[in-house]
């Protein structure tokens, strides 16, 4: 059991003031590395010391990892439910409430939670009917995923479509009308098929809280609400918090407006900055004593950090002076990759484990060249961010099959499942679904009719699969069902993928993981809300003796730290990303993202600026133009760094044309006499 007095003892004065704050809403403005998590955990402990029941404390976070972390530190793992803090991500908590009262929300009890990829699939099936297909008037229509993004942006920021398109998706402006029609269809489709997307989870929770009857009941479940990373809330989440604690009593928000990096999914640091306006009696406690980084790193961090009136904060170093950040100006990207590898190996030889070193990139593809170089030198690495495990085709296939078993009315899943089979394309798949729907809501009962109506070849591939799934649906335990679903997919997956054996092994892990859930439904929701990053995620922690460099996107690195951090691609267009520069707000967010990246480093920070970029967007008219150093590294910032120049690339090899000519001549003897 946690030693609660001990939790408070290790805090500094500011942290203790935050943890033991009484009465009225509290904002803890916590700079990077200032012990935010420990303070929040201590506050929960202190509230319980004051006599509050654990189950009446609500802890809201943005990632599952953050929630698990804090809950693990705040309570014993074997505590009873009354002794357990009610915690999770906004979405997971919303789901728990909605699933428990599905009828009250006019949802079918077996409603399916769809992830953004599913939402894009729905958009895809509706786009043709809304004139959003192919190339119109020489302009390519927005991709299905883009349509889903725009929709979500409208919803999560409560902003009109026309404004969202104008500011964030200007190239889609010609299709605004069609998008409006598409979105109407999207909402209708979701309701008709019992689908709930991520935005819906929040919208439904907010609606319930605002409801005259349900609101007071939901509010009265909790005495205290603790919100982590408040700078990342969107308009809906901010309102959920406000509805949970209308007068601010018992509300604690933790955040740092300088680390707001999720505007693209509707978040806005203005919600944090305006807390004072919503709650006149708001107390603000600043945590600025940094326990993570040395003074060299913080010197740079403090000049990059954007300051906002009334919420200024400068980090002070609790650790020693340490090294200055190093800016390595590299001849080109290839040099950059070699330089990173050289420093990784040098630090490794001086005793730093590979896993204590991270490379933080703005976009997943920024590490392409580096990954080749790492592989060539035999340096092991793992990559976080970018493609998720659940986005791999075979995993989506498995999930589609499981969804059909869990909810036979899930047309979206049927569509994917059917199309997996040889000889079945979009038209046949749709026709089969039409046939099945006559028997709605039990399409399985009509399967043999549908199969009989198919041409011989498709029937012979899809028939066995579906008949096995029908059997799987009758099985008792989740584990048996998952295993049977996997078995049903054996033949179609083998026919489709050359590396079917590997993929099939992945699915075994997935089926095993699903077996732990009480129902197939729960397993699927879990997978949607908290997708495993890789197959090894499902298999548990990697072995202790495995050592590897971490490559992560800056976004995925939030909240983490490493002794050594490498930040490549410090070039305008990459950092800051040119995709983000359509608005001044976009540039500001890029700067905050850079701040997040810099503040991940404990001991050593290496920044890399390639001087020459090949195939770069800005260099389209001159493939050898010289790139500009990122605008975040102005003279002040540079004065906080030690600048070095990387060795020029190895001299080019002498042309080997004579050699090639020899080879060609030898070959020619094979067909000349």
Partner DNA sequence: GGTAACTGGGTTTTT
Partner DNA sequence: CCCAGTTACC
Residues binding DNA (CB under 7 A): 62-64, 89-91, 115-116, 120, 124, 133-135, 140-141, 143-145, 149, 152, 198, 261-262, 264-265, 362-365, 385-388, 391, 393, 422-429, 529, 531, 553, 555-556, 577, 579-580, 586
Q: What is the spatial distance between Cα 579 and Cα 589, in angstroms, rounded to a whole number?
A: 12
Evaluate whether 329 touches 646 at the Cβ level (below 8 Å).
Answer: yes
Please, which residue, 207 or 515, has the CB nearer to DNA? 207
- For the CB of residue 172, give the shortest distance to DNA in the complex, in Å: 11
Question: Residue 439: helix, strand or coil by DSSP?
Answer: coil
- For the CB of residue 66, give the shortest distance to DNA in the complex, in Å: 9
Please, which residue, 557 or 641, has the CB nearer to DNA? 557
Q: What is the spatial distance between Cα 365 and Cα 45, in angstroms, rounded to a whole number?
A: 43
Q: What is the spatial distance between Cα 431 and Cα 475, in angstroms, rounded to a whole number?
A: 29
Q: Nearest 5°: phi and psi at 498?
A: -65, -35
Q: What is the spatial distance between Cα 25 and Cα 280, in angstroms, rounded to a whole number?
A: 9
Q: What is the spatial distance between Cα 230 and Cα 62, in angstroms, rounded to a whole number?
A: 9
- For the CB of residue 667, give the shortest distance to DNA in the complex, in Å: 24
- For the CB of residue 155, give the shortest distance to DNA in the complex, in Å: 11
- For the CB of residue 345, give the shortest distance to DNA in the complex, in Å: 26
Please, which residue, 213 or 498, has the CB nearer to DNA? 498
- For the CB of residue 382, give the shortest distance to DNA in the complex, in Å: 14
Please, which residue, 199 or 347, has the CB nearer to DNA? 199
Q: What is the spatial distance between Cα 101 and Cα 650, in angstroms, rounded to a whole number?
A: 67
- For the CB of residue 69, give the shortest distance to DNA in the complex, in Å: 14
Residue 622 C-beta-side C-alpha neighbours within 13 Å: 5
- For the CB of residue 351, give the shortest distance to DNA in the complex, in Å: 30
- For the CB of residue 90, give the shortest distance to DNA in the complex, in Å: 7
What contacts 663, CB < 8 A, 6 or more positions away? none
Please, which residue, 144 or 511, has the CB nearer to DNA? 144
Please, which residue, 347 or 397, has the CB nearer to DNA? 397
Please, which residue, 426 or 445, has the CB nearer to DNA? 426
Q: Show the CA angle centred on residue 7, arms to residues 259 and 13, nearest 5°.
A: 65
Question: Residue 603: helix, strand or coil by DSSP?
Answer: strand
- For the CB of residue 289, give the shortest distance to DNA in the complex, in Å: 28
Please, which residue, 152 or 302, has the CB nearer to DNA? 152
If DSSP states are collapsed to H, E and C, what string results for 536-602?
HHHCCCCCCCCCCEEEEECCCCCCCCEEEEEECCCECECCCEHHHCCCHHHHHHHHHHHHHHHCCEE
Please, which residue, 63 or 355, has the CB nearer to DNA? 63
Please, which residue, 95 or 305, has the CB nearer to DNA? 95
Bridge pairing between strands 57-61 and 224-227: parallel
> Which residue, among 112, 121, 187, has the nearest Cα to 426 in the 3D structure?
121
Nearest 10 degrees: CA dihedral of 80, 84, 89, 92?
Answer: 40
- For the CB of residue 143, give the shortest distance to DNA in the complex, in Å: 4
- For the CB of residue 116, give the shortest distance to DNA in the complex, in Å: 4
Residues in the chain: 673
Evaluate whether 46 touches 19 at the Cβ level (below 8 Å).
Answer: yes
Q: Nearest 5°: phi and psi at 602?
A: -90, -60
Evaluate whether 458 touches 424 at the Cβ level (below 8 Å).
Answer: yes
- For the CB of residue 92, give the shortest distance to DNA in the complex, in Å: 7
Please, which residue, 65 or 645, has the CB nearer to DNA? 65
Please, which residue, 18 or 165, has the CB nearer to DNA? 165
- For the CB of residue 415, give the shortest distance to DNA in the complex, in Å: 11
Q: What is the spatial distance between Cα 511 and Cα 505, in angstroms, rounded to a whole number?
A: 10
Torsion region of 494: left, alpha or beta (phi above 0 gives left; psi -120 to 50 gives alpha)? alpha
Whole-number Cα distances in Å, 516 to 36, 72, 113, 480, 510: 33, 20, 19, 11, 10
Please, which residue, 427 or 653, has the CB nearer to DNA? 427
Please, which residue, 181 or 215, has the CB nearer to DNA? 181
> Which residue, among 223, 259, 253, 231, has the nearest Cα to 241 in the 3D structure?
253
- For the CB of residue 243, give the shortest distance to DNA in the complex, in Å: 19
- For the CB of residue 253, give the shortest distance to DNA in the complex, in Å: 17
Beta bridge partner(s), residue 566: 359, 606
Per DSSP, the chain holds a count of helices (H) and strands (E) of 30, 19
Please, which residue, 62 or 381, has the CB nearer to DNA? 62
Q: Can you spell out the DSSP letters for 253-308?
A: EEE-GGG---GGGTB-THHHHTHHHH-TT-EEEEE-EESSS-HHHHHHHHHHS---
Q: What is the spatial distance between Cα 509 and Cα 626, in angstroms, rounded to a whole number?
A: 48
Bridge pairing between strands 549-553 and 357-361: parallel
Please, which residue, 149 or 339, has the CB nearer to DNA? 149
Can you say how many angstroms the Cα of residue 361 is from the centroid of all Cα atoms in its chain?
15
């Amino acid at each position: 059991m946690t030693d609660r007095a001990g939790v408070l003892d290790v805090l500094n004065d500011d942290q203790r003031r935050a943890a033991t704050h009484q009465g009225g809403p509290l904002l803890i403005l916590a700079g990077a590395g200032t012990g935010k998590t420990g303070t929040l955990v201590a506050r929960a402990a202190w509230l319980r010391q004051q006599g509050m029941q654990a189950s009446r404390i609500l802890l809201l976070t943005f990632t599952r990892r953050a929630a698990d972390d804090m809950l693990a530190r705040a309570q014993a793992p074997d505590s009873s439910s009354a002794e357990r803090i009610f915690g999770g991500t906004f979405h997971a908590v919303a789901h728990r409430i909605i699933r428990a009262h599905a009828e009250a929300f006019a949802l079918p009890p077996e409603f399916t939670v769809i992830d953004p990829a599913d939402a894009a699939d729905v958009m895809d099936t509706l786009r043709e009917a809304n004139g959003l297909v192919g190339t119109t008037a020489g302009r390519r229509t927005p991709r299905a995923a883009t349509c889903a993004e725009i929709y979500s942006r409208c919803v999560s920021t409560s902003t009109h479509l026309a404004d969202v398109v104008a500011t964030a998706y200007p190239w889609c402006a010609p299709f605004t009308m069609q998008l409006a029609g598409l979105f109407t269809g999207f909402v209708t489709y979701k309701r008709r098929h019992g689908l709930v997307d991520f935005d819906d989870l929040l919208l439904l929770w907010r609606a319930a809280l605002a409801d005259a009857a349900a609101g007071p009941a939901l509010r009265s479940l909790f005495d205290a609400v603790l919100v982590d990373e408040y700078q990342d809330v969107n308009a809906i989440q901010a309102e959920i918090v406000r509805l949970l604690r209308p007068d601010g009593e018992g509300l604690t928000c933790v955040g740092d407006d300088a680390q707001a990096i999720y505007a693209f999914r509707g978040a806005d640091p203005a919600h944090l900055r305006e807390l004072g306006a919503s709650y006149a009696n708001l107390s603000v406690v600043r945590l600025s004593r940094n326990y993570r980084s040395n003074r060299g790193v913080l010197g740079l961090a403090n000049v990059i950090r954007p300051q906002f009136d009334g919420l200024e904060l400068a980090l002070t170093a609790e650790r020693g002076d340490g090294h200055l950040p190093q800016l390595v100006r590299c001849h080109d990207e290839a040099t950059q990759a070699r330089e990173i590898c050289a420093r990784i190996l040098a630090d490794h030889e001086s005793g730093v484990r590979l896993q204590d070193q991270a490379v933080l990139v703005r976009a997943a593809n920024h590490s392409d060249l580096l990954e080749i170089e790492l592989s060539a030198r035999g340096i092991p690495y793992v990559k976080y961010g970018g493609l998720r495990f659940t986005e791999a085709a075979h995993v989506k296939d498995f999930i589609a099959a499981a969804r059909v078993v869990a909810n036979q009315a899930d047309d979206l899943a049927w569509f994917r499942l059917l199309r997996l089979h040889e000889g079945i394309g979009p038209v046949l798949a749709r026709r089969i679904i039409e046939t099945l729907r006559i028997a709605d809501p039990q399409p399985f009962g009509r399967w043999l009719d549908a199969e009989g109506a198919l041409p011989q070849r498709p029937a012979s591939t899809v028939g066995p699969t579906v008949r096995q799934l029908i059997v799987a649906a009758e099985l008792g335990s989740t584990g048996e069902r998952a295993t049977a679903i996997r078995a049903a997919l054996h033949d179609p997956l083998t026919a489709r993928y050359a590396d079917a054996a590997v993929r099939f092994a992945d699915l075994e892990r997935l089926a095993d993981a699903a077996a732990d859930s009480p129902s197939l439904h729960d397993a699927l929701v879990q997978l949607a809300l908290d997708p495993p990053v890789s197959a090894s995620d499902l298999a548990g922690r990697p072995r202790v003796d495995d050592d590897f460099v971490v490559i992560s996107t800056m976004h995925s690195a939030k909240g983490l730290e490493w002794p050594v951090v490498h930040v490549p691609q410090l070039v305008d267009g990459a950092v800051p990303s040119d995709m983000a520069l359509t608005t001044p707000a976009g540039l500001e967010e890029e700067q905050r993202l850079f701040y997040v990246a810099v503040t991940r480093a404990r001991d050593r920070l290496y920044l890399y600026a390639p001087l020459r970029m090949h195939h770069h967007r800005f260099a389209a008219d001159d493939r050898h133009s010289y790139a500009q150093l990122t605008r975040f590294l102005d003279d002040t910032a540079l004065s906080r760094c030690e600048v070095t120049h990387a060795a020029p690339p190895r001299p080019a090899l002498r042309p080997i044309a004579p050699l090639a000519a020899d080879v060609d001549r030898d070959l020619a003897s094979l067909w000349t006499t």
